[in-house]
Amino acid sequence: MIFVEWWAIERLCVVLLIAATASLSIWSLRKKRWFVRFPIHLLLGVLLFVILSLFTLVSILPGNTYSEPVYSPNRKMAARIVEYNASGLGGANDTVKLFGAHGLSSDVVFFGEFKSVKAENIRWKSDSELEIPYEGTPYQCTSTHRVKVVCFSTRQSVR
């Protein structure tokens, strides 16, 4: 399975769509008089600048980091850890996403504390069973209709 980063392609398409819409608007006004064209060109320029600035700001804010995918034995599915850390903005957590269809379909199968899961510890027992060892508190651990997910704590109980 070739794993595709669809979110990166989506961002590229949004930027291209914004640029194409602005270009088409400017082109459609080419035969209008200058006093009609100028305010619309000015408004489009400011709007394009604001939208692309906000898009850039959202792209560089602290947020998600991704682990390498852990492939199933038949390589048709992959599990991947998404670490969300907003630094001083609040909140941090880990999710394990299960991907199929080259990354087009995904399900969150684990949600827990920040740094509670490590990619090297996630293990596929078979094509339909995934083991996720965690440290800390798990908030959610669910199976999908195709894959049974087993989550267990790695903490040793001391008595």
Q: What are 80-128's pLDDT values in tens digits?
A: 998 888 766 667 788 999 988 877 788 999 998 888 899 899 999 999 9
Residues 30 and 69 in one domain: no
Residues 68 and 52 in one domain: no
- pLDDT, position 61: 67
- pLDDT, position 111: 93
The number of folded domains in the chain is 2
Which of these three, 41, 60, 79, is where a domain ends?
A: 60
Domain that includes residue 18, residue range: 6-60
Residues 96 and 117 in one domain: yes
Helix then strand count (H, E) for the chain reads: 2, 9
Residues 82 and 21 in one domain: no
132 phi, psi to nearest 5 deg: -125, 105
Segment (H or E) for 35: helix 34-60
Let me know: does 127 contact 72? Beta carbons within 8 Å: yes
Q: How far apart are CA 69 and CA 102, in angstroms?
A: 11
159 belongs to a structural domain: no
158 belongs to a structural domain: no
